[in-house]
Structure 1
Amino acid sequence: MTGPDINQPTTQDHRDAAPASSSYHTVYEDWRADPEGFWRRAADNISWVQQPETIFDADAGVYGRWFPDGVLNASYNAVDRHVEAGRGEQPAIIYDSPVADTKRTISYNELLSEVQALAAVIADLGVGKGDRVVIYMPMIPEAVIGMLAVARLGAIHSVVFGGFAAPELATRIEDTEPKLVLTASCGIEPSRVIAYKPLLDEALRLSGSDAATLVLQRPQVTADLVEGRDYDWQEVVDKARDAGRVVPPVPVQATDPLYILYTSGTTGKPKGVVRDTGGYLVALAWTLRNLYDINPGETFWAASDIGWVVGHSYIVYGPLVYGPATLIYEGKPVGTPDAGAFWRVCEEYKVTALFTAPTALRAIRKEDPDSKLLPRYDLSRLRTLFLAGERADPDTVNWAQQTLNIPVVDHWWQTETGWAIAGNPVGLGILPIKTGSSTVPMPGYDVRIVDEGNKEVPADTMGSIIIKLPLPPGCLPTLWKNDERFRSGYLDEFPGAYKTSDAGFKDKDGYIFIMGRTDDIINVAGHRLSTGGMEEVLASHPAVAECAVIGIADALKGEVPCGFVVLKSGVTDNPADIEKQLVARVREQIGPVAAFRLAITVGRLPKTRSGKILRGTMKKIADHQPWSLPATIEDPNSLDEIAEALKSYGL
């Protein structure tokens, strides 16, 4: 395979050496002027078995396909090529688990050995090119090794968040039809241990699957194995490693699927987002240098989970393909052991860039509002904090910037896109930060703000956010086995464009402001208002740690807003007084038109495991509509608390 020389960076800070011609505006216009030339050059940053001659085929797939005649292997790009370039002794994966009291550093040489051995076992179990493997595991190195081993064989992995309920896991198994499931005996939370095997056994029963399972036994729980179906991970992998098994990477087309990642659908049936191999690796390699400003040999930490898209892109494939060490953290931002956990990890592993969700910062701020724990740690290597996963309210961004004294960069993307639609490209020279904005579109994304008639609206005008086709490399080409659902769900409403289902506006400088999902725009007596704007006002109150605003059905006005707030630890003011202050703030800063009359203090907000607030479910509870417990919820009891709070106010 051919590709660039990936070497240890020099001691010189490459940001100072970047030529002026590589500014964001120049790069974005280069893409506009010659999209295929732009992505042809970007493709030189990864290794190919067969270099693509055709960069984009507009007649292939649903809206066209990238690099259709290119041939490569993702596992080779993430592991082998670094070993071949002489970087085998450098750290590839750093594992830190406060809940398991374990730390481990894996070099590229060690990673290659582990991937080879596991790939041999998976092949022996009948998995080959194009077959599917479900991965149902906690945040441990073996989960990443499993992804790379599956990709090495040209097979397709589908990671399901460890601990998902059996019925939800079963729907993904039914849709994916795997030959094999990789799992562990348990996952570890700060307050409990979750046995995975009973959940998997029930899911296999519900789905009627005859997939084999490979089970990693963790010391906290020992799983019972079914003879003839279940295999002990360590036992069979040790045999393959001791035998010196070598599994060469299987070449695949750039357009072949690398993985399927499920995201919730409005119909209740999960959508299997397909990620192709070539375009994805090209896009990720471009972002590590140009968006995140990372060099091979540094340490990049995406504090997420491999069950989510952030984990796929920036715990696994992005860092490992480009060359920095990547961190796997099995813990929480607070409680493992305290609100200084993130700062401890950043100091210990000399983290250059931290990528997390705003909800993690809110949790830290709630527990340590005055940042008393921060001075214990040396964060001199930390250059940038990146936020994504949900809207970053200005109050949280400002707190983080003042606390850390580094740029805090919000950026916006989706499971479907696989990487940032808009961001602040630190590697090209950071642009002025506007709190509340995810900054500007990345090359490849032609972002428009339109009204309900698909007509572009003026600057600073709220509208639906769409992306003109084609989507850039790395974005989903379709949904698994369902082109029609892809068309109807994403492409039909705005012809020639991809519907993001997000709402917001652009300012006169082209900065993008994401104000919420399109269903978070509420209609109050004929006025379209953003719940995100109201949340900004609530979050600016010094006693508020986090908040959520929903629209509640109203016979007179159509909808009226209701705010839920969680107060910071140590706040002694009467919650009722704070609620009155919050109502007054919204009326003062947004106006009486908002009809904001109700703020309710709660102990916690219902969230997914990735930190997104379940506003849609909260609204159904408030409107007395049927609702079901979301599969991704972190704490099911949090919804009961919302229901009780609404009842206490007569709702």
Structure 2
Amino acid sequence: MSYPYQLKNFEDYQQAWQHSVTDPEGFWANVADHFYWRRKWDKVLEWDFKQPDVKWFTGAKLNITENCLDRHLGTLGNQPAIIWEPNDPEERHRILTYRELHNKVCQFANVLKNNGVKKGDRVCIYMGMIPELAIAVLACARIGAIHSVVFGGFSAQSIADRIQDAQATLVITCDGAFRGAKDIPLKSVIDDALMACPSVKKVIVCTRTRTPVSMLKGRDVWWEDEIKQVETMGNPPVPAEEMDAEDMLFILYTSGSTGKPKGVVHTCGGYMVYANYTFINAFQYKPGQVYFCTADIGWITGHSYIVYGPLSAGATTLMFEGVPTYPDAGRFWDIVDKFRVNVLYTAPTAIRSLMGFGLGPVNHKDLSSLTTLGTVGEPINEEAWHWYKDQIGKGRCPITDTWWQTETGGIMIAPIAGVTPEKPGYATLPMPGIQPVLVDENGKEIEGNGVNGNLCIKFPWPGMIRTTYGDHERCRTTYFATFENLYFTGDGCLRDEDGFYRITGRVDDVLNVSGHRIGTAEVENAINMHAGVVESAVVGYPHEIKGQGIYAFVISEKHVKDPELTKKDIMQTVARIIGPIAKPDKIQFVSGLPKTRSGKIMRRILRKIAEGELDNLGDTTTLLDPAVVEEIKHGKI
């Protein structure tokens, strides 16, 4: 199997990018021609950024699972599709070939149908990183149900919000999950969430940890029992549901700058083409290679680059249940050594954390199989980039430092491994099909090199967001209303003298903590739920492991007698409402917050204090009470 649209050298890249800009429809039609369509498109692209209204491959019919599974059976049926490495290295790993995966997806698709799921229904999936998670995702896509995967670290309240928004009718979960030294009680969290979710009629529970769980008669069923029932029926074949290219494939919730998470919607045709194209090119994937993305399928990285991108390319994708430091800090390197991993894609947070353990865990591990390294989730700092390049890649492996978002569906700006130049800390050049621009605060394009601005994209690409579920106006105002006729990424960006792009961080009120996007408003809402809190303001600050840490300034109702205990109580409240990933790293009690006379909190000032820039706060005379700033400065943690 070869990939006719794989770029081989820099000249290839330049030609492809030029073609994609001068004739985008011709460019993407050429790529899309290599997939299996039940019916070809009438029109490649229709678009209007004002509405916004974007349609790719109008009139085309397909099912993404036929492209991820069925079309490979003749040539790759016995090749590993998924290698699964459990949390406990003593437990046996599992390998599913393309044929086995296809069978299991069809089986579970039957289970979904038996439980009343039909095309267009929303299914919430809240599971640990086991092969059944990928099977559940693909089974939904096979019958045309819309999956909404929720990361297995979110709280009951966060899950309830997402289920209510999507009006999901069925939930798929596990009794529990293993993550490092922890057992996570997934089913009991779901039970708490469902107290507020009348739309859910059925819960399918997969056995993993053998944790005792409550099973409600008529609502809760065991995965294994349901599979037996399908086997008893003789495993009836499940033809893939015919989907329109613009039918919804999945909803994935992401934090916004307002408290309510927003459901990013991706559709079947364009997303498939884009996830596949970027996977094959960014990583320079070669048939037969073992590819290891360390993300969780609860995030977009797992959707695009563990499931849909690799499987549509006939790749071998490795899923890992655990964490990089369990049972010790050599776990990633053990996995690379054990499975002769060729491509490793991980987060700068993980790299920085592993750097802290020194070279002991790396030494004596055979990493010679590696050909390509990748990073995702946030910009990687230079020190971590060099450590990754020298100690893990042994100076041989190109690094693709990828910039993209839940909303973009796939990699947007990144060095194409070994094809385009790389530069530490830089996402470098756009993928073919991507037209980035920098604009000032008035939306005027900033031309030339050696400039800074707001990063926008001026032309549609197949993997882009179509809407926010149930609230199209929110999609318009968040991404398309700030600057006319442009998709606004929310990121600041530098374009250097060579024309390379470097992401400089969020310009809206969204934090990037360990590669997870968390809205400041969401954290503030959770802190304010604590009984003793009057008001709070949250900002990000540089954190040597996480990239950004969460710094909370909190006004309490009365004098805090035991600050440490109260801080723990507040953190517990945030963990219950959002999940442990949103717990503040620092909490400072204050008597007031810097506000303008109209009542707006000046987060710019708080951000500078949190960053330690105490002498460079700018003009504070316009504040309602400038003295508050001095008090906050003196109390800085």
Q: Same fold (TM over 0.5)?
A: yes
Matched to 2:585, the amino acid is L
- Structure 1's unaligned 5+ residue stretches are 1-5, 522-530, 536-549, 551-560, 567-604
Quick check: 1:33 aligned with 2:22? Answer: yes
Structure 2 equivalent of residue 358 of structure 1:
348
2:153–2:581: 8 Å Cα contact kept in structure 1? no
2:158–2:579: 8 Å Cα contact kept in structure 1? no
2:172–2:205: 8 Å Cα contact kept in structure 1? yes
* Superimposed CA distance per residue, residues 381-411 of structure 1 (whole angstroms, 9 cap, x where no aligned partner): 2111111101211111012112122222211
Structure 1 equivalent of residue 248 of structure 2:
257
Q: Aligned equivalents of 1:159 and 1:196: distance in 2?
A: 13
Of the three residues 359, 363, 366, the one matched with 1:378 is: 366
Offset of residue 413 of structure 1: 0.4
Structure 2 equivalent of residue 87 of structure 1:
76
Q: Aligned equivalents of 2:341 and 2:492: distance in 1?
A: 34
Please give the secondary structure, in 2, of the residue aligned with 1:220. coil
Map 1:68-467; keep pairs closer than 5 Å: 68-83=58-73, 85-99=74-88, 101-242=91-232, 243-334=234-325, 336-367=326-357, 369=358, 371-404=359-392, 405=395, 406-426=397-417, 429-457=418-446, 458-467=448-457
Matched to 2:369, the amino acid is R
Please give the secondary structure, in 1, of the residue aligned with 2:139. helix
Offset of residue 21 of structure 1: 8.1
* Superimposed CA distance per residue, residues 399-433 of structure 1 (whole angstroms, 9 cap, x where no aligned partner): 2112122222211000100111101122xx52222
Quick check: 1:639 aligned with 2:628? Answer: no
Please give the secondary structure, in 1, of the residue aligned with 2:455. strand
Offset of residue 346 of structure 1: 1.1
Q: 1:314 to 1:19 in 2, by over 3 A?
A: closer
2:495–2:501: 8 Å Cα contact kept in structure 1? yes
Please give the secondary structure, in 2, of the residue aligned with 1:157. strand
Matched to 1:132, the amino acid is R
Q: 1:255 to 1:175 in 2, by over 3 A?
A: same
Q: Aligned equivalents of 1:21 and 1:437: distance in 2?
A: 17
2:436–2:456: 8 Å Cα contact kept in structure 1? yes
Structure 2 equivalent of residue 553 of structure 1:
none
Structure 2 equivalent of residue 527 of structure 1:
none
Please give the secondary structure, in 2, of the residue aligned with 1:314. helix
Quick check: 1:618 aligned with 2:551? Answer: yes
Q: 1:106 to 1:270 in 2, by over 3 A?
A: same
1:217–1:223: 8 Å Cα contact kept in structure 2? no
Please give the secondary structure, in 2, of the residue aligned with 1:423. coil
Matched to 1:159, the amino acid is V
Q: Aligned equivalents of 2:271 and 2:554: distance in 1?
A: 39
Q: 1:25 to 1:637 in 2, by over 3 A?
A: closer
Structure 1 equivalent of residue 502 of structure 2:
513
1:45–1:285: 8 Å Cα contact kept in structure 2? no
Matched to 2:122, the amino acid is R
Percent same amino acid among aligned pairs? 36
- Structure 2's unaligned 5+ residue stretches are 514-519, 521-538, 558-569, 591-608, 611-631
Matched to 2:318, the amino acid is L
User: Which range moves more in the overlay, 253-262 or 59-68?
Assistant: 59-68
Structure 1 equivalent of residue 617 of structure 2:
none
Quick check: 1:65 aligned with 2:55? Answer: yes
Offset of residue 59 of structure 1: 6.0
Offset of residue 273 of structure 1: 0.2
* Superimposed CA distance per residue, residues 246-295 of structure 1 (whole angstroms, 9 cap, x where no aligned partner): 11100100100110000012221110000011001111221222221112
Matched to 2:479, the amino acid is Y
Matched to 1:89, the amino acid is N
Q: Aligned equivalents of 2:450 and 2:69: distance in 1?
A: 46
User: Which range moves more in the overlay, 215-224 or 377-386?
Assistant: 215-224
Q: Aligned equivalents of 2:378 and 2:66: distance in 1?
A: 33
Aligned length: 554
Matched to 2:87, the amino acid is P
Structure 2 equivalent of residue 569 of structure 1:
none
Offset of residue 460 of structure 1: 2.0
Offset of residue 192 of structure 1: 2.1
1:45–1:282: 8 Å Cα contact kept in structure 2? no
Q: TM-score, normalised by structure 1?
A: 0.79
Please give the secondary structure, in 1, of the residue aligned with 2:123. strand
Which structure has more relative contact order (CA 8 Å, sep 6+)? It is 2
Q: 1:145 to 1:643 in 2, by over 3 A?
A: farther
C-alpha RMSD over aligned residues: 3.1
Offset of residue 641 of structure 1: 6.9
* Superimposed CA distance per residue, residues 59-103 of structure 1 (whole angstroms, 9 cap, x where no aligned partner): 6972321011111101111111111x2311110001001338341
Structure 1 equivalent of residue 574 of structure 2:
629
Q: Which runs of at least 4 in structure 1 moved beyond 6 Å after TM superposition?
A: 641-649
Structure 2 equivalent of residue 494 of structure 1:
483
Structure 1 equivalent of residue 42 of structure 2:
53
Offset of residue 622 of structure 1: 11
Q: Aligned equivalents of 2:364 and 2:474: distance in 1?
A: 52
2:174–2:208: 8 Å Cα contact kept in structure 1? yes
